[in-house]
Structure 1
Amino acid sequence: MVQASSHFIAICSDSIGETAEAVVQATMRQFELPDTEIKRFMNVRDEDELSRVMEEVAERKGFVAYTLVQPELREAMKEEAVRLNVRAVDIMGPMMQAFADTFHNDPKEKPGLLHRLDDNYFRRVEALEFAVQYDDGKDVSAILKADIVLLGVSRISKTPLSMFLAHKGYKTVNIPVVPELTPPVQLKDVQRGRVFGLTIEPELLLKIRSERLKVMGLPNNVQYATAMRVEEEIAYAQSLFKELNCPVIDVTDKAIEETAGLIIRML
């Protein structure tokens, strides 16, 4: 029997719930809550379904973050929250009210407008497929087609950063930097300002690699996770970044979203 998580957060949405979950995830980083389950309840469009969601939240003693654009559903959510003594956080309601009050314009109140199948949606899908296909230097032939090229040593979060940028619509290639491997010759032909080097404090990288070996059940005394090797790789990466004259971002104390924001602003 699987033991329930200590903390339970429900995402309730009349669309896919991505907006509310993004807010929840960003907030969670401010707290030490290792044993937390986030569960999405998507396309909630009637009061009966909403009641079932709230019953589960109450039973699991959690709280709910919701994005419901229809006033009657938002009102039903408030009533259920009071009835079941569940904390409910309205992610979009106050923002829509601020827009309406300030700009004297009524909202459309149609679910799913953020994620409708427009050109931006298909651009994101194409970028995600691109990032998966060219992840971790699997195929460097597309370097010149990329909007962004990431360079960095192993375990510096190149892949999650690539996927986050792809979700924003940027075709991203990430290339591992290893002293024993010659960098792709195409790097020197990439348009200026599209190549970004990632660096990190050696102590943190050593810790990350050691944890990775532990998860894999491997001894932590292999060269990959020694201080000498980590410092060698970071120094080599720095020399490559200098040779390419590309911007360098230290990811040591940065969330993926923060690093992505820096890159996007520099494009």
Structure 2
Amino acid sequence: MAQTSLLQGKRFYCREWVFHKLLHCLQEKTNSMINSAPHKQASVANPGSSASTAPSKGGPWGVLLVGGPGSGKSAVCTELLWPSSPQGLQRGLHRQGLAFHFCRADDSDTLSVSGFIRGLVAQICHGGLIQGYEEKVRDPAVQSALQPEECERNPAEAFRRCILLPLQAAKPPQQSVFILVDSVDEGCHFAEGEQRSSSSSRTIAELLASHHEFFPPWLLLLCSARKQNKAVTKLFTGFRKISLDDLRKAYIVKDVQQLKERTPASATKRKLRCSLHLEQNPS
């Protein structure tokens, strides 16, 4: 299953302000961990019941990177996980990455909800950032929920049993960590005015939207989506939104200027026309 980014290894320019904002959000989570250390945020008395999860506290539920097509959402996500610049390596935000997933319209496997869940579990186990998590998912009940057929049949229950409850019960890390989901709106084809259940888990976006409030307080959910897809962005109410192509912001204009200095004129014109079109024709 293709979980990685096709942009990995490409050179990355500008956007320093984005990483400063993300660093601030992660620091907020870390500070909330320190301030609430004596108090346990969630009860996991009954691992088989969804009622044992409780909403966490501490900062925004998550961050939503928004922008039009070609605004650099996937590039930012890629640079966050696999920094290509000395500044990115020095920031060290990639060390706080717990798991990631890149949704792609041309790869149906990346849009599978059950595949998404199983991929996150594998990464969290292999990453070693959360002590005790791997041991907890070895539980027979958890393994049963994680089986492909069962995960496909009831993804919401699999997400609770295999990700939420083990994370809530595990020893918190020393600093906050994040789960990154790029292009979370891919595969979401909602009809205008369509009513959706708050507990629906037909897509990755719906699964996360109906469960993100139960993430432990040390975990930040970071997603990206096209700003034109209002039906999806509205699912993440309460998230801190970061726009990548709002040319009313001086630091975004500075990005465009720096890009012009670093790239050939023909490529710059194409990127600039795209940015201006996105800003002058908001959806």
TM-score range, shorter chain: under 0.3
- Normalised TM-score (structure 1): 0.27
Task: Choose 1 or 2 for highest CA Rg.
Answer: 1
Structure having the higher strand fraction is: 1
